Copies of this chain bind each other. A is one copy, B any other.
Amino acid sequence: MPVSNTLIADLTWYDFAEKVKANPIVFLPIGSVEQHGPHLPLSTDILLPQAIAAEVAERVGGLVAPPVAYGYKSQPKSGGGNHFPGTLSLDAGVLIGLVRNVVNELVRHGVRRIVLFDGHMENQWFLVEAADLALRDQAMLGRSDVKIIKLGYWEFITKTTEKVLFPDGFPSWELEHAAVMETSVMLHIRPDLVRSELIPDGPAADFPPYDIYPFDTRPIPPTGVLSSAGSASAEKGAAVLAQVVPDIADALIKAFDAPTA
């Protein structure tokens, strides 16, 4: 296996120093350790953005930083809930601080274009805060030339790809937890980690229009899968990647040239 050219983890500091000179886009994959039903591993939310970010990085000559493996607390409507065994989550303050620190460190070493590459829906607002605070830190240090993009790869899935994934109609990205899309991409990139024989089939979960703490577990499917993964396939997973990887790459290249507020 050749040493990766895009993973910071695999580089020496000499390699890193050399590469940073070219002002690369640096990707920080951020995931979670979260239940993903009987068929997907607890690391699903970090494996997916790591894999996709690596492919995008390859295209744009970017680098992928070591991942933030732990994420924010799983919620019933988007992840089944934090009470499922093995779901190991961070407090908001810790997640914000961790991402803020890593961003500031990248900037300290010369990086100016950073992508917070999210694999876990519950992380998103805390990434917004981490980006905002890191930019404030940089402003206090007199630096105003840093740009940070935050994205969830699933938001780039087009209507066309949606139809490939869900020929019978799309539920919602929130209910897509451990369901067709995630299972398909895992079957494509890490089939060894999918227990295909345990892929559950069942109706989509139905939640009330509020959130209650402690959770009301009654509307949560006992498997933790929020809508059926029955129609998942490696082919569908390949189709997702074939579309989102170039689309994200294109979008980022344009975005980093955009004027700022």
Contacts and interface: CB of A to CB of B under 8 A. Distances in A.
Contact of A218 (B13, B86, B216, B259): B259
Interface string A84-108: 1111111111101110011001100
Size class of the contact patch on chain A:
35 or more
Contacts of A133: 91
A209 B156 contact: yes
Contacts of A224: 13
A170 interface: no
Contacts of A251: 208-210
A141 B97 CA distance: 20
Contacts of A37: 12-13
Contacts of A126: 92, 125
Interface string A204-220: 00001111111111100
B20 A147 contact: no
A179 interface: no
Given A91-B129, A94-B101, A251-B209, A38 B10 contact: no
A73 to B, nearest CB: 6
A129 B208 contact: no
A219 to B, nearest CB: 9
Contacts of A163: none
A75 B39 CA distance: 36
A92 B126 CA distance: 8
A233 interface: no
B69 A69 contact: yes
Contact of A195 (B12, B192, B214): B12
A215 to B, nearest CB: 4
Contacts of A129: 73, 91-92
Contacts of A125: 72, 92, 122, 124-126
Contact of A91 (B73, B97, B195, B198): B97
18 contacts: A10-B42, A10-B43, A11-B41, A11-B86, A13-B37, A13-B224, A20-B85, A70-B98, A83-B261, A85-B110, A90-B98, A122-B125, A125-B126, A128-B213, A147-B214, A208-B251, A208-B255, A212-B255
